[in-house]
Amino acid sequence: MNTGSIRILASFALGMTLIGGAPTAATAQHMNQPDTPCFEARSGAELTACFAKAAQTADARLNDTYAAIVKALAPEDRDRLQAAERAWLAYRDRFCDGEYGLYGGGSGGPSAQQACLEALTRHHEAELKAGYGWRVEKATGAAFSDRYDVDQIVHRLDLTSFANSVAPRREPDKHSFADYGFTRVEAQAHGAVLTEDDDEWQMAFDIVAITPDTIDICFHDQALRRPGQDAGSSYNTTSALRITRSEHGRWTAQDLKAGLPGCVVHEG
């Protein structure tokens, strides 16, 4: 975040006994909230590892959301938001330090503090979207709720995981749009258009549906021209894809042969 990097740790919260016992329904806090990311963890070590990863994701999403908002604001509005964020960071850290202190140096303290930081950061990102999202949509013409996922697809989708026009020139160490020369990115309402530097090929996608684990997109792949051609090539395909999210590394996609609502599959 521009106001200073957010220090995020993660784990489960309040309710772990001082001797490391399991949290109870009466005392557990962040770990047992309906939106907790780590219900399936079974041990203290698993909870700590799970919340650590979830906190990194929350931190990244908050930073992306904040950056998008700042770009859309007038200077005076930006200054007010930056001041508010500095105050929020101080509040969050002190609040979670308080949860740590409840354990008097016991083994449950770091876990409670980490879960607190993860939850407050995740919830604050939602607050920023609720308060400032409309300004981003007005400035960019794009649905703010989709912007994070659009940016992640642009940077993390593995083009070698599904059929498309880069197949004849695949290389072991190349995977992303940028790796294959699609570096000109134009944001759309629910997706993006990516064009090669030489204007020969263009790919585009629109988000159709989003779940916590997958993103369905309508993917367009078109040759704009070839050397010696004045008119565009006849190559023009549309695919329905289901992308599987990954917290780390590349996102892969599989073809949905039946298509998606509003996305008719065709090969050209």
Question: CA-CA distance, 255 to 268, in Å (whole number)?
Answer: 16
Question: CA-CA distance, 180 to 170, in Å (whole number)?
Answer: 9
Whether 266 is in a domain gets the answer: no
Query: Higher model confidence: residue 34 or residue 5?
Result: 34
Whether 82 is in a domain gets the answer: yes
CA angle 94, 96, 99 (to 5 degrees): 115
The pLDDT score that the predictor gives to residue 182 is: 95
Pair (159, 102) in one structural domain: no
The pLDDT score that the predictor gives to residue 16 is: 35
Structure tokens at 223: 């040759």
Pair (166, 211) in one structural domain: yes
Q: How confident is the model at residue 24 (pLDDT cuts 50, 70, 90)?
A: very low
Name the most confidently modeled range: 108-112, 138-142, 153-157: 153-157
Q: How confident is the model at residue 2 (pLDDT cuts 50, 70, 90)?
A: very low
- Count of other CB atoms within 10 angstroms of residue 10: 29
For residue 174, the one-letter residue type is: K
Query: Higher model confidence: residue 72 or residue 255?
Result: 255
21-33 mean pLDDT: 47
Least confident of 28-32, 105-109, 159-163, 261-265: 28-32
Whether 14 is in a domain gets the answer: no
Helix axis angle, 75-101 to 44-72, nearest 10° = 160
3 state DSSP class of 95: helix
Kindly tell me if the per-residue pLDDT of 252 is higher than 80.
yes
The pLDDT score that the predictor gives to residue 1 is: 52
Question: CA-CA distance, 37 to 53, in Å (whole number)?
Answer: 10
Whether 264 is in a domain gets the answer: no
Condensed to tens digits (0 to 9), the pLDDT of residues 38-61 reads: 666 667 777 777 777 777 777 777
Pair (48, 134) in one structural domain: yes
Pair (39, 126) in one structural domain: yes
The pLDDT score that the predictor gives to residue 61 is: 78
Average pLDDT, the chain: 79
Pair (131, 161) in one structural domain: no
Pair (75, 165) in one structural domain: no
Residue with tokens 């992640």: 152
Question: CA-CA distance, 207 to 161, in Å (whole number)?
Answer: 18
Last residue of one domain, picked from the residues 88, 109, 140: 140
Cβ-contact 21, 3 below 8 angstroms: no
Q: For the chain, what percent of residues have pLDDT higher than 70?
A: 76
Whether 15 is in a domain gets the answer: no
Q: Which of 55, 57, 117 is nearest to 88 (CA)?
A: 117
Whether 39 is in a domain gets the answer: yes
CA angle 109, 43, 104 (to 5 degrees): 15
The pLDDT score that the predictor gives to residue 17 is: 32
Cβ-contact 138, 230 below 8 angstroms: no
Pair (77, 168) in one structural domain: no
Domain that holds residue 175: 148-255
Whether 98 is in a domain gets the answer: yes
Kindly tell me if the per-residue pLDDT of 143 is higher than 80.
no
Question: CA-CA distance, 197 to 182, in Å (whole number)?
Answer: 7
Handedness of CA 19, 25, 28, 32 (dihedral sign): positive
Question: CA-CA distance, 220 to 267, in Å (whole number)?
Answer: 10
Q: How confident is the model at residue 220 (pLDDT cuts 50, 70, 90)?
A: very high
Pair (121, 60) in one structural domain: yes
Q: How confident is the model at residue 228 (pLDDT cuts 50, 70, 90)?
A: low
Query: Higher model confidence: residue 163 or residue 44?
Result: 163
Pair (34, 132) in one structural domain: yes
Q: pTM (2 decimals)?
A: 0.53
Whether 7 is in a domain gets the answer: no
Kindly tell me if the per-residue pLDDT of 152 is higher than 80.
yes
Pair (113, 158) in one structural domain: no
Structure tokens at 224: 């704009």
Name the most confidently modeled range: 9-13, 131-135, 205-209, 231-235: 205-209
Condensed to tens digits (0 to 9), the pLDDT of residues 55-92 reads: 777 777 788 889 889 988 999 999 999 999 999 999 99
Where residue 65 sits, what CATH number does that domain have?
1.20.1270.180
Last residue of one domain, picked from the residues 94, 120, 140: 140
| Domains contained in the chain, number | 2
Pair (226, 183) in one structural domain: yes
158-180 mean pLDDT: 93
Q: Which of 266, 258, 268, 261 is nearest to 238 (CA)?
A: 266
Go through 41-71 and write b for each residue having 16 or more CB atoms within 10 A of its CB, e for each that does not. beebeebbebbbebbbbbbbbbbbbbebbbe
Last residue of one domain, picked from the residues 140, 157, 184: 140
Pair (129, 180) in one structural domain: no
